[in-house]
Amino acid sequence: MTEAPVALATTNWAGNHTYRATELRRPESLAELQETITNARQVRVLGSRHSFTAIGDSAELVSLEAMTSDRVDVSSDRRTVTVDAGLRYGELAAALHREGLALHNLASLPHISIAGAVATATHGSGVGNGNLATAVAGLELVTSSGELVRCARGDADFDGMVVGLGALGAVTRMTLDVEPAFDVQQRVFEQLPWDTLYGNLDEVLSAGYSVSLFTGLGPSVDMIWVKSRTDVAGSPAGDLFGAVEAATERHPLPGIDPAPTTAQLGSPGRWSDRLPHFRMGFTPSNGNEIQSEYLLPRTAGVEALEVLRSLAHRIRPLLQVCEIRTVAADELWMSTAYGQPTLGLHFTWLPAQADVEELLVELEARLLALGARPHWGKLFLADAATLAPRYPRHADFLALVDRLDPRGTFRNDWLERHVLDNV
């Protein structure tokens, strides 16, 4: 017998979306999850609620929290681990630390669930680092028929199933690539002139293992956060193309206490304590915000930055901060970095949804003209007809959705509008 539903937290993390479901199922076993999905007319898996849209909404919602432990099963060659997909990255990092292992990268926030981050191609930064989904070597999911499907790297459907947008089934377990644990040191550099960035964009973005630029679109780039592995030579110090190293710790958002941020000032620490911007035990970012992000070919980087600066008079009144990052190319069908080295333009907005959406009409159109792909978990406007041509395997993904979910159990209005509509 499936467990009784519990009351649902009514909004996402940012509070800009209210879930239409009023009850949340919390199965405690795979068998209970299979029964719940088989009996559902429409259902989605609710993760850490860090998406800023209705991508995770449905008439019915299910949580995997009661099925999730922090146990990691390490392969005999210690090159992969298998974990529950509902685990959060901060919890996974702690479990990997006990094994002396690490992931290749982490996103800005360690609070997000593995399954949700992978399904939306969420990423950290670094010209040589693929997004979090590229670490997936295998996965298990429950389809709308209740069948448990396993898929591994090299299988015919694997590249289509990893960034699945929640449209294929409920992902229950994942196998992830790992490597021996490593240390990272983080430094912040301040006030880089725009002209200097334009003339040295690739070099600035390659200054460390993971690099993030933060700007309020003022006269200069406010900060460059450089995260360098201690087992690789070449960590910058003192000066970076004229930007001066900060003498005290900084928060990405101006005027906010840096206590929630990971340690800076060049102090070495565990990979998991430096690669995110925020510590697991604190509220990430600001919390009172909306986010958008557009991923473009890195070759269009200067043009994209010029778009932002030309619209700065409209952007700044709504902007908390803009972050500029890089992602390595991959072959995952619905990844925003599919087939191309990528530059990410991330916007943390004030919580003014109507005004942000009005601004996005022009901002998004101009970035789309440069080849942008919007982040699947953040606020954007483009419909499926606009986005489909940007994904060469889009038609194959639609066929995969139809095959694994023929009765449309995992579909919702957001997916129909932005991904699945006939184009």
Read off the pLDDT of each residue in 1-25 and give the average, rounded to a whole number: 76
Read off the pLDDT of each residue in 189-194 and give the average, rounded to a whole number: 97
- Tell me, what's the pLDDT at 267? 93
- Is 2's pLDDT higher than 60? no
Q: How far apart are CA 367 and CA 374, in angstroms?
A: 9
Residues 384-409 have pLDDT tens digits of: 999 999 999 999 999 999 999 999 99
End-to-end CA distance of the chain, in Å? 41
- Tell me, what's the pLDDT at 6? 64
Residue 4: band (very low, low, confident or very high) from pLDDT cuts 50, 70, 90? low
Percent of the chain with pLDDT over 70: 96
- Is 173's pLDDT higher than 60? yes
Residue 17: band (very low, low, confident or very high) from pLDDT cuts 50, 70, 90? confident
- Tell me, what's the pLDDT at 312? 98
- Tell me, what's the pLDDT at 50? 84
- Tell me, what's the pLDDT at 254? 83
Closest CA to 228 of 280, 177, 184, 270: 184
* DSSP single-letter state for residue 274: T
Question: What are the residues whose beta carbons fall under 8 Å from the beta carbon of 240, sequence distance 6 or more?
Answer: 189, 192, 204, 207, 224, 226
Read off the pLDDT of each residue in 279-295 and give the average, rounded to a whole number: 79
- Tell me, what's the pLDDT at 26? 95
With H, G, I as helix, E, B as strand and everything else as coil, classify residue 72.
coil
Alpha helices, DSSP H only, in 130-174? 158-161
Hey, what's the torsion of the CAs at 76, 133, 299, 350, to 10 degrees?
-140
Residues 106-139 have pLDDT tens digits of: 998 888 999 999 999 999 999 999 999 999 999 9
Read off the pLDDT of each residue in 51-58 and give the average, rounded to a whole number: 91
Q: How far apart are CA 53 and CA 123, in angstroms?
A: 18
Q: What are phi and psi of 154, to 5 degrees?
A: 100, -25
- Tell me, what's the pLDDT at 21? 86
- Is 286's pLDDT higher than 60? no
- Is 51's pLDDT higher than 90? no
174 close to 114: Cβ distance less than 8 angstroms: yes
- Tell me, what's the pLDDT at 48? 86
Percent of the chain with pLDDT over 90: 86
Residue 3: band (very low, low, confident or very high) from pLDDT cuts 50, 70, 90? low
Mean pLDDT in the chain?
A: 94
CA–CA–CA angle 299, 335, 96 (5° rounding): 110
pTM score, whole prediction: 0.95
Read off the pLDDT of each residue in 75-101 and give the average, rounded to a whole number: 96
- Tell me, what's the pLDDT at 288? 82
Least confident range of 23-27, 70-74, 189-193: 23-27
- Is 27's pLDDT higher than 80? yes
- Is 281's pLDDT higher than 70? no
Residues 229-248 have pLDDT tens digits of: 999 877 777 899 999 999 99
Read off the pLDDT of each residue in 410-419 and give the average, rounded to a whole number: 96
